[in-house]
Structure 1
Amino acid sequence: MIKVSILYPYREGGRFDIDYYCGTHMPLAARLFGASLKGWSVDAGINGGPPGSPPPFVAAGHFLFDTVEAFYEVFKPASDTLLADIPNYTDGGNGTILISEVKVAV
C-alpha cells in the first residue's frame, strides 16, 4: 500500500481554510478517485515541538492506494479539477507531494 501526502507549509499570516479542505476539497478528491482510493485523512498542524512553536506544516492531506500506478491512473484525469480548487482553501500554492510506502498499519 502507498500513501500520497500533500504537505502545506506553515506561513506566518498565510491563509488555510481547514474546514473547507476537510469538508469540500478532500471529499471532492475522494469522489473523483473512486474505488481506487482505499482511504483518506487530514492532519492539522498545531505545534513544531517546543512549546509555543509554529508547526512546520499547517496541514497535510493523505490518500491511500494499493499502488503508485493506481494513484496516477485516477489523479491524471482529476488533476485539473483539484488544482483549480486550491485557491478556495489556501493562498500558499499546491503544497509538496510525498509518495511513501506504508510499512506498518495498526
Structure 2
Amino acid sequence: MSGANVIVLYPRKEGSTFDKEYYLKTHMPLAMKHWKKHGFKSYAVTELNADGPYSVTVVMEFDNYEGFQAASQDPGTKEVMDDVKNFSSEAPVLVHGAVIGRG
C-alpha cells in the first residue's frame, strides 16, 4: 500500500476567525506550489458542523510518507506556515501517517 494522508484541523474557539476564501484561493495553491514536487497530489477542504471542536479541516494526499517528510523539510514550508496568520486566528492541529488500506 502506498500513499500518505496529512490532516490539518483548525480549532473552533469563541471569537476565532477563519477566512475560507483566502484559504482556498491563496493558501492551498501556495502549499501545492511548494509541495507538489514532493508528491502532494490533492486536497479536500471541509467546513465542519458548528457543534464540533474544529471549524475546518483539510485532508492532503501525498504519493508516499517519505514525500510528506521531504515536504515538511522543504525551505518553502516556512512560507506556507507563516501564511496561517493571514486566514486563521488559531494554530492548526496536524496529524499524518502512511495509508495502510483503501476501499
- Give the TM-score normalised by structure 1: 0.82
> How many percent identity over aligned positions?
27
Give the length in aligned residue pairs: 98
2:66 to 63, 69, 73: 69
Give me the whole-angstrom Cα distance separating, in 2, the residues matched to 1:101 and 1:45.
24
Superposed CA RMSD in Å reads 1.5
2:89 to 88, 91, 94: 91
Deviating runs (4+, > 4 A) in structure 1?
none
Give me the whole-angstrom Cα distance separating, in 2, the residues matched to 1:5 and 1:74.
14
- Give the TM-score normalised by structure 2: 0.84
Q: CA deviation at 1:101?
A: 3.8
Give me the whole-angstrom Cα distance separating, in 1, the residues matched to 2:97 and 2:53.
19
Stretches of structure 2 lacking an aligned partner (at least 5 in a row): none
